[in-house]
Amino acid sequence: MMGTELNKRWILTNSQQRDNGSQLLALTAFQDERIVAHWLLPDGQCRENAIAVTAGAFPSLTPVLPQVSWDEREIHDLFGYIPNGHPDLRPLVRTPRWPDAFYPLRSKFEQPIPWLDVEPDNGDQRVTGEGVTIMKVGPTHAGVIESGHFVFSIMGENILHLDLHLFQNHRGVEGHLEGRRLAEVAPLVSRICGADTVSHQVNWASAVEKLAGHTIDQPLAWRRVALLESERILSHLNDLAQIPAGVGFHVAHQQALAMKEKWQRGMHSLFGHRLLFDTVGPGTAAFFDPDALGRLIHDVRRDWQSWRALVLGHHGFQDRMLGVGIVRQADAARLGAQGVVARASGLSFDARSVMPLYQEWKVKPAGEVSGDVAARFKVRLEEVETSWRLLQDVIFEVAKMPLPSFWQPPEDLAGDAVAYTESPHGLNAHVVSLKNGQVVRYHVRSGTFRNWPLLTKAVTGNAVGDFPLINKSFELCYSCSDR
C-alpha cells in the first residue's frame, strides 16, 4: 500500500474503533519509529493498530479523535516525531530549559543534561479584548497540593478560558523505567502516583503474567480485587473530603479526613502500608486477614453512614454543588473522559465490567447525567457503597479459600503487552515492552491525563471563585499525568 493509503487507513480504523464504543487505552510511540494505538473493545478484547513514523512524522489523529491531542503533543515533545495535521502543537511537557535536540525517549543522551539557564514557562493562550483580566495561579500553591500552573482569562467574575500548563511534576518516569530488570520495576511503578498506586501495580503484574502466559489462581485474584477496592475507598474518601472543603463546609471535611485516617491505619495494619505501596507484584499480592478487614469495614462504615446523612441532608452544601462546573456529555465523549468524570456526565463505562479480574463480581457502573459537581460527588458516594459490598463479598470468599500460590516470572521474559485497570481516577493503562528480562519501553496512560482537558470545559462560564470547588470535584492527580 502507498503511504497515503496507510495514513488514511490509520485515521479511518481508529475513528471506527471509537465509533463502535471502544475505549482508547493508549497511543504509544516507540524508539523504532512506530506509533501504536491500543483499544479496549466493548467485549473486553484488546485490539491494536500501528503505523510507521516516516521521515520523522506520522498522521495526526487529533482532528478526528480530539482526545489524543495531548498524547500526540507528548510524543512530539519526548520523541520529536511530528503528528502531521495536529491543530495545536505547543509544547506540553517540554520547557524552554530543554536543550534543542533533547528527546529523552527517542535515544540515549549524555548525563547530566545541559539544561538551559532560563525560566521554564511556555507561552500561554489568553483571551484578549477590553475588560479581560489575566489571572495566573501556580505553579506553587498556597495549600498542600501538587504543582501546576493555570492561566485564567476572566471577565468580571467569569472564567472565559483556562489554559493549563502542567507537567511541573515530570520526573522522567518512563525513561527511568527503561533498562530496568524485572525485579526493579515494581517499586518504581508503585510510586508513579500515591492515589492510584494499586491500580498501577496490578497493571505491571498483569502485563508480566500475560507475557509469561501465567494465569493467577482465584485466591490471588480475589486478594487483588480486595486491594483495588480498598484503594478505591481510600482515594474516594480523600476526594470526598476535599469537595466540602471547597465550599467551607469544614465539619464534613474534617469528618471525612478522620474516616480516611481510620481507613489508612487499617490499611497499614492489614497490608503493611498506609497508602498500599508495594502490595502487588508479578505473581504476588499482599496477604491479609479477611476477618480483620471485615471489622475495619464495619467500624468505618458506621462513621460513613452518619457522614453520608450529614452531607446529603445539608441543603446549603447540596445547593452549592448544583449546576456548577458542568461537563457536557458531548464534550466528555469527544475528549475521552474517564472514571468519575465520565460517569457523572452520562457515559456509563467502568473498566471493572470487562476486567477478567472482576468476572465474578458483575460491577454495574455508577451513573449520573447532570455532569456538575453534585453529580461527581454522588457518583463517588455510590461507588464507595459498591466497594463496601464488593469487599464484603471478597472477604467472605477469601476466608473459605486456601492460600494463594505465588509465582516468579522467568528472568529472560520478552514481548509486548498492554494491561489496564479501573483506578479510582478512571481507566489506567500500561503498555509494556520487554526484551531479555529488561524493560525497553514502558508507557503509562492514566485516567487523569484524559480528564485534565475536561476541567477546562467544566470551568468555562463559571465564577472564578468556584474554581477550587470544581477542581476538587475532579481531584486529578498531577503525578499520574506528569510522570
Partner 1 sequence: MSRAMKSLQLRHLDAGSCNGCEQELTALTSRYYDLQQYGIDLVASPRHADALVVTGPVTDTMKKPLEKVWQAVPESKWLVALGDCAAGCGVFQEAYASHGGVAKPDLVIAGCPPRPQDILDKLNQFRLGQG
Interface pick for partner 1 out of 2, 119, 130, 313 (rule CB under 8 A) = 119
Interface pick for partner 1 out of 271, 377, 449, 478 (rule CB under 8 A) = 478
Which conformational region is residue 44 in: left (phi greater than 0), alpha (psi within -120 to 50 degrees), or beta?
left
Taking the C-alpha atoms of residue 67 and residue 39, their distance in angstroms, rounded to an integer, is 13
Write the interaction track for partner 1 spanning residues 192-221; mark x where CB under 8 A is met and - where it is not. xxxx-x------------------------
**Element (DSSP H or E) covering residue 44:** none
Within a 13 Å sphere around the CA of 171, how many CA atoms are in the beta-carbon half? 14
Query: Cell numbers 458516594 label which residue?
Result: 381
DSSP string, 312-330: HT-HHHHHHHTTSS---HH
Write the interaction track for ligand SF4 spanning residues 163-202; mark x where CB under 6 A is met and - where it is not. ----------------------------x--x--------
User: Please, which contacts does 382-386 make with residues 24 or more away whose CB atoms are closer than 8 Å?
Assistant: 383/232, 383/236, 383/340, 384/232, 384/233, 384/236, 384/237, 384/240, 384/304
- The identity of residue 403, as a single letter, is L
Interface pick for partner 1 out of 34, 47, 161, 191 (rule CB under 8 A) = 191
Give 105 or 391: the residue with its C-beta nearer to partner 1: 105
Rule CB under 8 A: say whether 238 interacts with partner 1. yes
Give 23 or 203: the residue with its C-beta nearer to partner 1: 203
Give 176 or 191: the residue with its C-beta nearer to ligand SF4: 191
Give 271 or 377: the residue with its C-beta nearer to ligand SF4: 271
Interface pick for partner 1 out of 46, 64, 82, 258 (rule CB under 8 A) = 258
287, interface contact from partner 1, ligand SF4, none, CB < 5-8 Å by kind = none
Closest contact distance (angstroms) between CB of 445 and partner 1 is 17
Give 425 or 457: the residue with its C-beta nearer to partner 1: 425
Closest contact distance (angstroms) between CB of 476 and ligand SF4 is 17
Closest contact distance (angstroms) between CB of 249 and partner 1 is 15
109, interface contact from ligand SF4, partner 1, none, CB < 5-8 Å by kind = partner 1
168, interface contact from partner 1, ligand SF4, none, CB < 5-8 Å by kind = partner 1
Taking the C-alpha atoms of residue 122 and residue 273, their distance in angstroms, rounded to an integer, is 39
Closest contact distance (angstroms) between CB of 184 and ligand SF4 is 15
Closest contact distance (angstroms) between CB of 119 and partner 1 is 6
Taking the C-alpha atoms of residue 405 and residue 439, their distance in angstroms, rounded to an integer, is 26
Taking the C-alpha atoms of residue 300 and residue 294, their distance in angstroms, rounded to an integer, is 10
Taking the C-alpha atoms of residue 467 and residue 159, their distance in angstroms, rounded to an integer, is 9
Nearest Cα to Cα of residue 68 among 52, 55, 80, 85: 85
Task: Give the 3-state secondary structure of residue 441.
Answer: strand
Task: Give the 3-state secondary structure of residue 450.
Answer: helix
Size of the site for ligand SF4 (CB under 6 A): 2
142, interface contact from partner 1, ligand SF4, none, CB < 5-8 Å by kind = partner 1
- The identity of residue 455, as a single letter, is L
Interface pick for partner 1 out of 111, 128, 305, 306 (rule CB under 8 A) = 111
Before 139, cis peptide (omega within 30)?
yes
CB 436 within 8 A of CB 424: no
Interface pick for partner 1 out of 145, 251, 309, 399 (rule CB under 8 A) = 145
The residues near 385 (Cβ < 8 Å, ≥ 6 apart) are: none
Taking the C-alpha atoms of residue 98 and residue 92, their distance in angstroms, rounded to an integer, is 12
DSSP class of 405 = P
**Window 150 to 179, contacts with partner 1 (CB under 8 A):** 167-173, 175-176
Give 170 or 450: the residue with its C-beta nearer to partner 1: 170
State the residue number with the nearest CB to ligand SF4: 191
Give 194 or 437: the residue with its C-beta nearer to ligand SF4: 194
By CB under 8 A, name the binding residues for partner 1.
95, 97, 104, 109, 111, 113, 115, 119-120, 139-140, 142-147, 167-173, 175-176, 187-188, 191-195, 197, 238, 254, 257-258, 260-261, 264, 268, 274-275, 277, 477-479, 482
By CB under 6 A, name the binding residues for ligand SF4.
191, 194
